[in-house]
Chain A
Amino acid sequence: MSDPILVLDNVSKTFRRSGGSPVKAVSNVSLTVGRGETVALVGESGSGKSTLGRIALGLLVPDSGRVVLEGQALGELSPEEFRRVRVAMQPIFQDASSSLNPRRSARELMEQALRGQSIDVEAKAAELLDRVGLSPGRDYLPRFPHEISGGQRQRLAVARALAMNPRLIIADEPLSGADVSIRGQILNLLLDIKAERNVAYLMITHDISIARHFADRVAVMQHGVIVETGPAEAVLSAPTHPYTQQLVAAVPVLEAPI
């Protein structure tokens, strides 16, 4: 790949538990996300996918290996440079109730995210809220997270992620808290954003169907190791690795002829 946005190069992370044996959460994992590409990181609990996500976001320092964002190795930057560089990638977390400061209104949350940009912050904030479907944006500015519905909170989280004009969005189980019937709303929103801004996604999920239909490529993780990668549709409809086969087979099939 010529110019990837994110390269995880041989990354490892071990956690020491008090009174127990050390747990190797991530073992020599290498993963690349190309510009404008959507990669799904699939695994069950304990696979290490969330840990890998946090390492990619720079929230966790790996024991070995490098995280390279837009050609710059995060571990080699000064704290000042690191803070400047990291904003090119933004997170979306699973639970919008805990990923938004409950004491901040939508306006304050957006202002925080738009800091340092010399623009009309209020107008830009309203515009972003409109963009994610919280219309009219102006009316949503004074609202607090607990005053809006779960789906709307997740949209607000997306709006915040967009404020920094990121080139990469890392989403950790962004749909798990939402009702099935409205997941499509969030997914369609993410698709639109990708079309407009050519944003790359690293989508961490345990849901095979979402990975299959939303992502370009998929990486399957088990016990801290990537066991299979490849084009999402191909890998998840005809998996080659036994673990992937097991995962795909375990999903209850909904035989609806629609």
Chain B
Amino acid sequence: MRRFWQRFLAYRAGLASGGYVALLAVVALVTFFWPGLDPHQISDTAMAAPSLDHLFGTDELGRDMLLGVLYGSQVSLAVGVSAAVGATLLGVMLGAAAGFWGGWLDLAVMRISEMFQVVPSFILAAVIVSLSGTGLTQVVAVIVLLAWPQIARITRGEVMRIKQLEFVDAVRCLGMREWEILATEVVPNAVAPVLAAGTLVVAQAILLEASLSFLGLSSADIISWGRMLNAGQRFLFNAWWMSVFPGLAIFLTVLAFNLLGDAVGSALNPRTITR
């Protein structure tokens, strides 16, 4: 454990991105619990450029952009993290089972995962939204369905490698049941690359949520960075601040999670030389 932190902290980009994500989490929590501030507050000063009163300017309804960006972090983090957790759980379960038992189970899981990898994401999103409406749960569901195959593949590969190691046979000889072996002996050893991939899914999820919101496939009264981009596209030349600040937020957050994934990956890999 100590060595994990040593390697993680030595990777400077990981340190920076970890700090950013922590900051983002703080912002999301603070804005969630802080009474009094209302990002939905409409005012008379619509489309105002950034100034001391409104650091990020205002949008077409006079809502403060800074507040919007800060509150938007809630959605991004919530969607990102829950989608990543969901995709990881689903992917690990199916991938581990497929890799461990092989045979027709493996074939079935692989073909199904390929289906989901091949389907264009927006078609799937549009279908789900049209069936059950817009809303954050639907957005998360779409992302989980799109992201689980990559996790499953990584898990399956690791499980197939680990199940051949002798310690698996050794516990078999102790009388352990097969599913128990998979859950307690094999999967914990397979987890390292999966964790790294999981953080990348957060980044993907945030982007996807932003895209879906941008296309109008999510609910109108949710404040999210994607939604703000959607609103801002019409005023790209008159009110650049309506697009730039949410866009910057998306960019920085996705970058941070990507770097975080890299850092976790190299920290868990004992053979990496730290920079």
Residues A103 and B188 in contact, CB atoms below 8 Å apart: yes
Say whether B174 contacts A101, CB under 8 Å: no
The answer, among B170, B175, B177, B188, for a CB contact under 8 Å with A91, is B170
Verify A89–B173 contact, CB threshold 8 A: yes
Most buried by A among B165, B167, B175, B176: B167
Q: By the criterion CB–CB under 8 Å, are A99 and B189 in contact?
A: no
Q: A101-B189, A103-B189 are in contact. Are A93 and B170 (CB under 8 A)?
A: yes
Q: B174-190, CB under 8 A of A: which get 1 and which 0?
A: 11110000000100110
In the bound complex, residues from chain A placing their C-beta under 8 Å from that of B175 are: 83-84, 86-87
Q: Which A144-160 residues sit within 8 Å CB-CB of chain B?
A: 157, 160
**Once the chains bind, are B174 and A115 in contact (CB under 8 Å)?**
yes
CB neighbours (8 Å) of B170 from chain A are: 91, 93, 99-100, 157, 160
List residues of A (185-212) whose CB comes within 8 Å of B's CBs: none
Are B166 and A112 in contact, with the CB atoms below 8 A?
no
* Cross-chain contact A113 with B169 (CB below 8 angstroms): no
Q: Name the contact of A113 in the complex, choosing from B174, B177, B185, B188 (C-beta under 8 A).
A: B174
Whether, in the assembled complex, A164 has its beta carbon less than 8 Å from a beta carbon of chain B, the answer is yes
A100 touches B167 (CB 8 A): yes
CB neighbours of A87 from chain B (8 A): 173-175
Query: Interface centre among A87, A101, A112, A160, by most B CB within 10 Å?
Result: A101
Q: Tell me whether B173 and A86 are in contact (CB under 8 A).
A: yes
Partner of B167, one of A58, A89, A101, A115: A101
Contact A57 B166 (CB under 8 A): no
Measured CA separation A83–B173 after assembly (Å): 8
Closest A residue, CB atoms, query B188 = A103
Contact with B along A86-97 (1 / 0, CB 8 A): 110111011100
Interface centre among A58, A87, A91, A95 (most CB of B within 10 A): A91
Residues on B with C-beta less than 8 A from A93 are 166, 169-170
* B173 & A95 in contact (Cβ 8 Å cutoff): no
The answer to whether B188 and A57 touch across the interface, beta carbons within 8 angstroms, is no
In the bound complex, how far is the Cα of B238 from the Cα of A86, in angstroms? 78
How distant is B67 from chain A, measured CB to nearest CB, in Å?
46
Which residues of chain B are near A101, meaning CB under 8 Å?
Answer: 167, 171, 185, 189
Interface check A102, CB cutoff 8 A: yes
A59 and B173 in contact, given A93-B166, A98-B166 (Cβ under 8 angstroms):
yes
Give the shortest distance, in Å, between B265 (CB) and chain A (any CB). Answer: 18
Contacts of A58 in B (CB 8 A): 173
B172 within 8 A of A: yes
| Bound form: Cα–Cα A157–B189 in Å | 19
Residue of B nearest to A84 (CB): B175
Q: Residue on B with the closest CB to A79?
A: B177
**Nearest 8 A/B pairs, CB to CB:** A99-B166, A83-B175, A93-B166, A101-B167, A98-B165, A98-B166, A87-B175, A99-B167
20 further interface pairs, Cβ-Cβ under 8 Å (given A98-B167, A101-B167): A54-B169, A58-B173, A59-B172, A59-B173, A83-B177, A84-B175, A87-B173, A87-B174, A90-B174, A91-B169, A91-B170, A91-B173, A93-B166, A98-B166, A99-B166, A99-B170, A102-B189, A103-B189, A112-B174, A115-B174
